[in-house]
Amino acid sequence: MRNHLVAGFTVALFGLSGVTLAKVSESEAKRLGNELTPVGAEREGNASGSIPGWTGGLSQPPADWTPGQIESNPFPEDEPLFVITGDNLDLYRDKLTDGHIRMLEQYGPEFVMPVYQTRRTAAFPEDVYEKSRDNALSAELLANGNGVRGTIMTSPFPIPKNGLEVIWNHILRYRGEELSFRSSSATPQVNGSYNEVVNQYDYFFAYSRRGADLADIDNKIFYLKTDTIAPSTLAGTITLVHETLDQIRSPRLAWRYDAGSRRLRRSPNLAYETDLPNSSSLRAVDQKDMYNGAPNQYDWELKGKREIFVPYNAYKLHDSDVRADDVIRPQHINQELARYELHRVWVVEAKLRTGISHIYSRRVFYVDEDSWQILATEEYDGNNELWRVSEAHNISYYSEPVFWTTMEMTYDLKAQRYYIDGLDNGFPAYDFEPGFRGNQFSASAARRAARR
């Protein structure tokens, strides 16, 4: 990896049996909300001014948006400052990920990166900011980093000391208390032909419920139920997931209902390198949401910070008038709808632990300092050759101040195909207040729902 790092420290973690880490001092925590933002980012911009200071993010929706609508573009007049192509990438190489360099080289001239003005839009509710500071004073990694304690609601380590803390910040970042939405995924062929799989997603974020504590949530981060709507051959398939906080002590619980057999069965292998359902083996389960699950298969190293061009403020991709045909192209998406900006990101490298089996021997994560959202990743095969590149195109949602993905894709450089998820265009807006109850996500409730 190139050595263009804003912070040049590296910290490896694992093999620290019996050791708990984290908790910052009161004096360190006072930096939050001062020179640091409430979630731990650098408040000031960079020296050149190409990254502005953070002034609260997009905490209020645009005047043309009303509740219940798809998020409108808050920057409709923005035009690209420049476009990075395979021909001019050397001008920007120090601000590109290895994955994007490879995409520009392999898929040019069609694959380009339009770069826009940097807008630090990430914002969260005020009580999330308060919990962020509380977590900084109390959160600790459990032995070997397989879980955390002394934390609730949002990212536990706003002032991280190592790579594993950064990854836990992504896993536990605030995404609202509950959420219901519909979107589709696809795995286009090399020529661009595709079939959509439409799913209904219902989330109940136990960890982020207001008033909850770790004792209340029974080691659960969230509950997720997906119901496949189309195509007809898959319609009626239900997947239920109970995502646990310490997956070594209490592994993820998952069930799958197949409409053909009319039975709800446990799915114990829905984790790690298992193929993500309906991904044509182009994505692993632990790549959903860019990274999820127990981090015990890798050694994690914090490489520092970099200023790089990353997907951000993807309101063109999220536009209510855009359809899958507008987005999907052979080998990669329609890059005219993509938006890249210069942001500071934490760089974390994960190397497969000795004696552990996984399809990826090494992974690199680029994590947004303003939101703890993973924005881009690189996945390497057993020969340490770059195999896949993943992107998360994000927006700030309006009905609940949350910065989260609207669309994700994983590009397989060998197969020259990709998996795309989050094609929510043409479906209703995300509902952050569906009124769920925790008992609606039990196995018996899923079984009853399947039989209706």
Each residue's pLDDT tens digit, 50-78: 999 999 999 999 999 999 999 999 999 99
Any idea what the Cα angle at residue 165 is, between residues 142 and 401, rounded to 5°?
A: 115
Q: Which backbone phi and psi does 44 adopt, to 5 degrees?
A: -75, 160
Residue type, 378: E
Higher pLDDT, 25 or 451: 25
How does the average pLDDT of the chain come out, rounded?
A: 93
**Are the CB atoms for 416 and 329 separated by under 8 Å?**
no
Report H helices in 47-162: 98-107, 126-138
What does the alpha-carbon distance between residue 367 and residue 306 come to, in Å, rounded to a whole number? Answer: 10
pLDDT tens column, 259-296: 777 789 998 888 899 999 999 999 999 999 999 999 99
Count CA atoms within 13 Å of residue 364 on its CB side.
21
**Are the CB atoms for 84 and 116 separated by under 8 Å?**
no
Residue 84 has pLDDT above 50, yes or no: yes
Higher pLDDT, 392 or 6: 392
Give the containing element (helix H, strand E) for 202: strand 197-204
Residue 12 has pLDDT above 80, yes or no: no
**Which pLDDT belongs to residue 22?**
60
Average pLDDT over residues 231-252: 92
Higher pLDDT, 168 or 216: 168
Residue 18 has pLDDT above 80, yes or no: no
pLDDT band at residue 405 using 50, 70 and 90 as cut-offs: very high
Higher pLDDT, 373 or 21: 373
**Which pLDDT belongs to residue 448?**
85
**Which pLDDT belongs to residue 247?**
81
pLDDT band at residue 85 using 50, 70 and 90 as cut-offs: very high
Residue 8 has pLDDT above 50, yes or no: no
Report how far apart, in Å, the C-alpha atoms of 314 and of each of 73, 306, 311, 420 are. 9, 21, 7, 15
Average pLDDT over residues 132-146: 92
Provide the Cα torsion 57, 59, 64, 68; round to 10°: 130
Average pLDDT over residues 301-316: 98
For residue 427 the two structure tokens come to 């479906």
**Which pLDDT belongs to residue 411?**
98
Q: Is 282 exposed, middle or buried (0-12, 13-18, 19+ CB in 10 A)?
A: buried
**Are the CB atoms for 298 and 360 separated by under 8 Å?**
no
